[in-house]
Chain A
């Protein structure tokens, strides 16, 4: 993992299109930053994104259409509960 030191007001750029600006460091613990990215780039908090990622995988299945057609014996790719 690349590690950079930046102060409030400074920025980093990822590729040509993504810019992250450090706006504020609160109490030396919480960092506020702004993100500029193209519309087709999704930006989310990691823990929420991973939660949705897991739920999407659990809800998705090649058998989804079979289930919709009324075959209730089909099971999803990931049954995690």
Chain B
């Protein structure tokens, strides 16, 4: 995980940093340290746990055109992110390419908020009942 490239927030520079998710990721409580790997495929990145190999997620930036405004952070979440500047905050959604034969889906109930300055992240579980757990994000690549 020494060579990590990210295209998050339109950045294309090489990244070697480790990102910390102090609360872990639901289902993977021991996975708190991640690297981001960009493979030149659209805006998608792989968020790979450094300690738990099976904890690897495909992420893509929150798109306001499609999804509306990004969620609002609670005070506790801001504290967890040690967020001082709004400009350092980016939102990502977790894609699921494995659940549906036709669609890659996006989990809108639990996006990731990441403080790029502090390299801290938190998965923000949202309680609104109308949010999609498997929003149809895009067709499976081999079906396009």
Contacts and interface: CB of A to CB of B under 8 A. Distances in A.
A55 to B, nearest CB: 5
Nearest to A67: B97
A3 interface: no
Contact of A68 (B58, B79, B107): B58
A44 interface: yes
B110 A67 contact: no
A54 interface: yes
A57 B28 CA distance: 8
Interface stretch (B8-16, B46-54, B63-71, B84-92): B46-54
A72 interface: yes
A64 B48 contact: yes
A65 B44 CA distance: 10
B127 A45 contact: yes
B123 A61 contact: no
Nearest to B129: A48
B interface, size bucket: 35 or more
B14 to A, nearest CB: 17
A77 B79 CA distance: 33
Contacts of A40: 22-23, 80
B116 interface: no
Interface of A: 39-42, 44-45, 48-49, 51-65, 67-70, 72, 74-81
Interface of B: 22-28, 37, 39, 41, 44-46, 48, 53-58, 76, 79-80, 94-100, 107, 109-110, 123, 125, 127, 133-134, 140-142
Given A52-B26, A59-B94, 18 more contacts: A42-B23, A42-B125, A55-B110, A56-B94, A58-B98, A59-B57, A59-B58, A60-B27, A60-B55, A62-B53, A64-B97, A65-B37, A65-B46, A68-B46, A72-B142, A78-B98, A79-B98, A80-B99
20 contacts: A40-B22, A42-B26, A48-B127, A55-B94, A55-B96, A56-B27, A56-B57, A58-B99, A59-B58, A59-B98, A60-B28, A62-B54, A64-B58, A68-B37, A68-B39, A68-B41, A72-B142, A74-B98, A77-B98, A79-B99
